């Protein structure tokens, strides 16, 4: 029980019980933080406006702007994740590149595949590796088509 401030984005989150000691994700920025194991180490706000940092925990207790932690925090490895927009663009450009403008869409597909790879790796709230890989495979098909069209690489006469 208690309200904590995210060390990354300073957003306020509230544990309505049961999450003490757990590693949780900030609902505002997705950053991971471990809640104090012992709730009594945190000055419980109780609506008195206490903002004094609790010793040792690193999470000041606050009583404003609280978000229900149990409802909005996702425990590590669980919960609904968002599909990375770059993975979607990678898939879309890979698919469209098979039919239209492969010269333009294939590079877009590859760039988005790389960007998406790092975004998904760094942010556990993001998913989309399947989309990204399927997009990249279609991008490879388009690239082979381009090699054939322009007679380069192993299609050179």
Beta strands 74-75; 126-127: pairing state: unpaired
Among positions 86-125, residues that touch Zn ion (CB under 5 A) are: none
Q: Judged by CB under 5 A, how many residues of this single chain contact Zn ion?
A: 8
State in angstroms the smallest separation of the CB of 54 from Zn ion: 18
Helices (H), the chain: 69-72, 85-97, 102-122, 129-149
Q: Which is nearer to Zn ion, 31 or 79 (CB)?
A: 31
Candidate ranges 4-12, 69-77, 85-93, 137-145; the one touching Zn ion (CB under 5 A): 4-12
- Nearest residue to 30 (alpha-carbon basis) of 129, 126, 127, 125: 125
Q: Which is nearer to Zn ion, 4 or 110 (CB)?
A: 4
Candidate ranges 5-13, 58-66, 117-125, 126-134; the one touching Zn ion (CB under 5 A): 5-13
129-149 vs 102-122: helix crossing angle, rounded to 10: 150
Farthest-apart Cα atoms in the chain, separation: 81
Contact predicate 112/157, CB 8 Å:
no
First to last CA, the chain: 72
Among positions 15-34, residues that touch Zn ion (CB under 5 A) are: 26, 28-29, 31
Q: Which is nearer to Zn ion, 57 or 106 (CB)?
A: 57
Q: Which is nearer to Zn ion, 72 or 129 (CB)?
A: 72
Cα-trace Rg, the chain? 23
By the rule CB under 5 A, 11 interacts with Zn ion: yes
Residue 142, both tokens = 């388009």
By the rule CB under 5 A, 8 interacts with Zn ion: yes
Which spans of this chain sit near Zn ion (rule: CB under 5 A)?
6, 8-9, 11, 26, 28-29, 31
């Amino acid at each position: 029980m208690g309200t904590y401030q995210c060390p990354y984005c300073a957003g306020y989150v509230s544990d309505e019980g049961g999450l003490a000691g757990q590693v949780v994700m900030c609902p505002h920025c997705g950053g991971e933080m471990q809640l104090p194991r012992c709730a009594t180490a945190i000055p419980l706000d109780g609506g008195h406006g206490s903002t004094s940092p609790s010793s040792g925990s690193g999470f000041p207790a606050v009583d404003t702007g609280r978000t229900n932690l149990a409802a909005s925090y996702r425990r590590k490895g669980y919960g609904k994740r968002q599909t990375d927009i770059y993975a979607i663009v990678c898939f879309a450009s890979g698919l469209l590149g098979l039919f239209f403008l492969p010269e333009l869409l294939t590079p877009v597909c590859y760039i988005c595949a790389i960007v998406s790879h790092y975004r998904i790796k760094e942010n556990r709230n993001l998913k989309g590796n399947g989309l990204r890989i399927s997009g990249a495979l279609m991008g490879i098909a388009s690239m082979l088509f381009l090699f054939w069209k322009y007679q380069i690489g192993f299609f050179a006469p």
